[in-house]
Amino acid sequence: MSDFKARTIYQIYPKSFHDSNGDGIGDLKGITEKLDYLQSLGIEYLWITPFFTSPQKDNGYDVADYRNIDTLFGTMKDFEELVEEAKLRGIGIMLDMVFNHTSTEHEWFQKALAGDQYYKDFYIFKDGKPGTPPTNWVSKFGGSAWEYVSAFNQYYLHLFDKTQADLNWENKNVRKELVNVLKFWMDKGVKGFRFDVVNLISKPEKYADDHEGDGRRFYTDGPKVHDYLKELCHESGLNDDGMVTVGEMSSTTIDNCIRYSNPKEKELSMCFNFHHLKVDYKDQQKWILRNCDFMALKKLLNDWQLGLQEGNGWNALFWCNHDQPRIVSRFGDDKQYHKESAKMLASMIHFLRGTPYIYQGEEIGMTNAYFEHIEQYRDVESINYFKILKKEGKKEEDIYRILQERSRDNSRTPMQWDDSPYAGFSENEPWIEVTGNYKEINVKNSAVEPDSILDYYKKLVRLRKEYKVISDGSYIPILLDHESVFSYKRTYDSQTLIVINNFYGTETEVELEGNMEGYQCILSNYESRDPINRLILKPYESLTFLKNE
């Protein structure tokens, strides 16, 4: 099993990272051209979201050929060069495997549509009359989760877009195919995998209406999901080869994530869960705005730290990815306290027990896009919900405010490298607009700015390598009742770390217990402080003290 505990992983959304051939679309060569920058961050793994052949209905999460590179992103030679050049800089490549569903353009689905029973069994087709789908399940992108095929007088299941048909994991032939896909890329020198919504692959024996919800309780962490993951990992040999693996677990539980990531289970290295990113949803509803419930956030972070620690599981730590709005705009203040709040939010999760992830642009404090017209949006989910919310009678200005906060496009605008046209992402107009503040917020400025957000992330990555208390230490919650501070301790042998974060833009007081002698301040987003028990914290202040006996 590889030692990923002291590592930090960087996530790249290739379509928006760097364009090497001027077509306005980021590509693999563009990533290779930025490897020196990535190496300077100190990260050791790159998780690259899907770049396989795809009609791009869901930006690559609709795969039409698992063994080929979409020409939009380059060639297999470009990929092999990227793996080689990354290796030379001590960086391992992690691929994003979308095994819950394929594109309906995939050869397997096309053969199924042509009536080939062998491939029809690769998918989930159920009888149903036009207008009466097999169940009332709802797609995660809105609308029914079933699409009718008149030729068969049947429906096929799609938990996401109708161009993303769910695979039938009950079928051994499907599972064999996917093992071979993993082996194909392992032979090309990749060092790990992220598995997309992999806790949705085990569907129930009986398909029934959900009278309480949208159907997810019938297929989330399903009956055979652990057997399937054990088989996939064993048959592909990825655990023996020290691959780093992470599962994206939608609406999952602590118990399941202990089983997914406890080494003795021989499944995955770690899990993403999303509960801490629903604390500003109303009743789990993404498209209803609500202020962040800080005490709920604190409780979730604490429960998942303690839960997985006790079960010897492992958390993937993150705020941002290609599906979430930018955290400094969401939980910070990207106007008055841009730097301070971005740094505080980084400290909140980077000192926790688990493996931290940095999403492209997070390290320079990139903000939400603040688009004002539907024409600026590209994301299938956002465009779907614009129509759904209009049909529900919502006023356009209200819908725009919701999209500005919630749209996945907020994290998909081009990476801001410098203040040249198109932010140095491309020489020509990009597939999606650059966020308006790119002249201020960009890598070039951050590299010369004293105490920049970029510097702060580099320190966090370095500290995790330097101190076992961060990479391997135990987690102990403190100040649990404090209404505006998230604070905890980490301990390992003779090392003790105290991390204090003021989550709000107003001063607040904290009273730390115990003797603070012997501690030193190793990181702060203002000036360094003496380790004393009673502290008045500045807006969004973050302090980390270490005692090394």
Q: Give the C-alpha separation, 6 to 3, whole Å.
A: 7
For the bound state, the minimum distance from the C-beta of residue 330 to ligand TEU, rounded and expressed in Å, comes to 13
**Residues in contact with ligand TEU, shown as a per-residue x/- string from 81 to 100 under the rule CB under 6 A:** -----------------x--
Contact pick of 17, 45, 61, 467 for ligand TEU (by CB under 6 A): 61
Q: Known catalytic residue: 449? A: no
Across the beta sheet with 146-149, the strand order is: 125-127, 154-157, 146-149
Q: What is d(CA 352, CA 329) in angstroms, rounded to the nearest whole number?
A: 22
Nearest distance from residue 432's CB to Ca ion, in Å?
Answer: 13
Residues 223-262 that bind ligand TEU (CB under 6 A): 248, 250
* The token pair that represents 374 in the structure block: 């539907």
Asked if 210 touches ligand TEU (CB under 6 A), the answer is no
- Judged by beta carbon, residue 52 or residue 503, the one nearer ligand TEU is 52
Query: 226: closest CA among 313, 147, 117?
Result: 313
SS3 labels along 60-83: CCCCCEEEEECCCCCCHHHHHHHH
* Closest to ligand TEU by CB, 120 or 322: 322
Per DSSP, the residues of 510-541 read EE--S--TTEEEEEESSS-----SEEEEPTT-
Question: Can 147 be counted among the known catalytic residues?
Answer: no
Tokens at 360, concatenated: 């492209």
Contact letters (x/-) for ligand TEU, 367-406, by CB under 6 A?
Answer: --------------x-------------------------
- How many binding residues for Ca ion (CB under 5 A)? 5
Does residue number 27 form part of the binding site for Ca ion (CB under 5 A)? Answer: yes
The span from the CA of 252 to the CA of 233, in Å, is 20
Per CB under 6 A, does 286 bind ligand TEU? Answer: yes
Of the residues 27, 78, 147, 248, which is catalytic? Answer: 248
Beta strands 164-166 and 192-195: pairing type? unpaired
Q: Which of 27, 70, 166, 196 is catalytic?
A: 196
Pairwise CA distance, residues 229 & 244, whole Å: 14
Question: Rounded to whole angstroms, how far apart are CA atoms 227 and 220?
Answer: 14
User: Which of 453, 452, 406, 414 is CA-nearest to residue 436?
Assistant: 414
Cα–Cα distances in angstroms (integers) from residue 279 to residues 220, 298, 300, 499, in the given order: 20, 10, 9, 22
Query: In 3D, which of 4, 216, 234 has the Cα closest to residue 100?
Result: 216
Does 160 engage in binding with ligand TEU (CB under 6 A)? yes
Interface with ligand TEU (CB under 6 A), residue from 196, 221, 280, 362: 196
Binding mask 24-53 for ligand TEU (x = CB under 6 A): ------------------------------
Distance CA 447, CA 467 (A): 25
**158 near ligand TEU, judged by CB under 6 A:** no
- Binding partner at 119 among Ca ion, ligand TEU, none, C-beta below 5 to 8 Å by kind: none
Interface pick for ligand TEU out of 197, 225, 342, 460 (rule CB under 6 A): 197
Tell me if 21 contacts Ca ion by CB under 5 A: yes
The residue from 8, 17, 18, 19 that contacts Ca ion (CB under 5 A) is 19
Q: Is 349 in the site for ligand TEU (CB under 6 A)?
A: no
Q: State the binding partner of 70 from ligand TEU, Ca ion, none, CB within 5 to 8 A by kind.
A: none
Cα–Cα separations (whole angstroms), residue 136 to 132, 150, 157, 204: 9, 19, 11, 15
Question: What is the token pair recorded at 296?
Answer: 């709920």
Which partner from the list Ca ion, ligand TEU, none does 408 bind, CB cut-off 5 to 8 Å by kind?
Answer: ligand TEU
By beta-carbon proximity to ligand TEU, the closer residue of 58 and 280 is 58
Q: Which stretch binds Ca ion (CB under 5 A): 17-25, 216-224, 283-291, 388-396?
A: 17-25
Q: Which stretch binds Ca ion (CB under 5 A): 13-21, 149-157, 207-215, 504-512?
A: 13-21
Binders of ligand TEU: how many residues, by CB under 6 A?
Answer: 14
Sequence-distant (≥ 6) Cβ neighbours of residue 43 within 8 angstroms:
7, 8, 9, 10, 91, 358, 461
Site residues (CB under 6 A) for ligand TEU?
A: 58, 61, 98, 140, 160, 196-197, 248, 250, 286, 322-323, 381, 408
Site residues (CB under 5 A) for Ca ion?
A: 19, 21, 23, 25, 27
Q: Which residues are catalytic?
A: 196, 248
